[in-house]
Chain A
């Protein structure tokens, strides 16, 4: 009777996707906190190893992970370069450009590499979380935790609204292109100025759409009763899940305490 995440029905589910969303959220949050509390490369490599296990066991499409890594790599490169140039200490290389000396410090490379790993851990953790927890399950879990359904449901609705907005942007952009107002072939500064007239119809269309969606939801009695029922049943977190979450929280706390003490 109970319907779980769509991926489970399609056979794309895994043992991890059926775990309680709150357990997964706690583990991911603990991982993020631990990543922020240290700059130790070894610790980061261990965390990446744990994430790799989660990705494999959770049957998360590798393409998603590769895509997110591809997105953060330019940022990571930039961070590493800045750290290499700005940190003091012994150099690994130095060059003269005219009368200016450019030093690439060893400490900067190490710090840059650590921050790169931290960014990668954050990106992969978030990707893993959203791959393992479907929005309806998260909504249900938040409701069970005491959050009013209207607010808990807002997340699912936002996920649905986002592609609609992207679609609207594309429609408006194409309509303006037909009128010779092309912003695609401009530099960044000109583009940021020329985009303003496109924002006005977009805002109007979004408001209109939001109003129509609100009306459609009202017509389906959304928020009209407090004792709402649910088709989606969530299995309560097992002892093993609770223990795992506890271990993650303890590990994270150890990292935080260590960062405070040393």
Chain B
């Protein structure tokens, strides 16, 4: 019991909804409940008064925060799922195996939350299945609909292994493991398709999207940035869960992820700069406009700075250095997606869009539910390999990090 209390000192633990029960819900517990309650109120109004009752969406701004963040960022930040599984099972880099499961959990929860967000944002969510039967192969949205449906199924199957193992359903587990390779390959192909297609959405609006972001290369840029963001998330989430669960951080391993991420960021940065220069849009880079500021923010925060940091070995050997770099990549990625979906449209639409408080509440709710669900998954399922033995209510092996920190 004493150990639980010590563990509770880590705020990350509370963030994942794993605060010490003995002392009541605690700050984060109450905060979580408050966010859920506020979200429920907003959603009630949304489904009784229409999207206009709770959002600042309009005929000028048909897509807002829920598309720009909940969906575009949600899908992109879950890209670690296909990157890490492909690296481990196809490239056969077995040393990354310890992070496969947490990455799959992140990706699966991410996609489930994206689908939930979609149910809030769609005008007629009860028709969400229509693209499966009413086809339009010329539509990017149709392709994304199919890919997300299929890939969420793939992730559910990849996730199911942890459930089977926990339940001791060995035959199901063996069957699931036999299907690993096809699942990974199909998952990589589906992810490549829809991660890039989220960028293809915007190919049809050359007159509306600012030249700093409109490019025929949007699909490639979206795919590449999702790979970076996925790797960034792997680092962030490893750090968060190691602190929350008192696990040892797989430092050398994450250092290698960091090095790969530096390489990916380099390729991404070269791609972005080349694209902008080749299109003759470089004059917009430093014109002092709102767009140039937000582009600079996105690029410095999410690409240049973490690339420089991660290119240095001492940073890759330091938990804080890795964590900060991963966070920067994730934040820069979020700014990029909001730039493409919101900032880049402002000039053409002639007015700005600022999300309503109720839109923020729903987004916050989804993020909070994501944190909570991840915590519960790690608590109840064999997500981390060293916890496979003696899982559940039994005592876990004494955490190394804790000894050092306390």
A complexed with B:
no
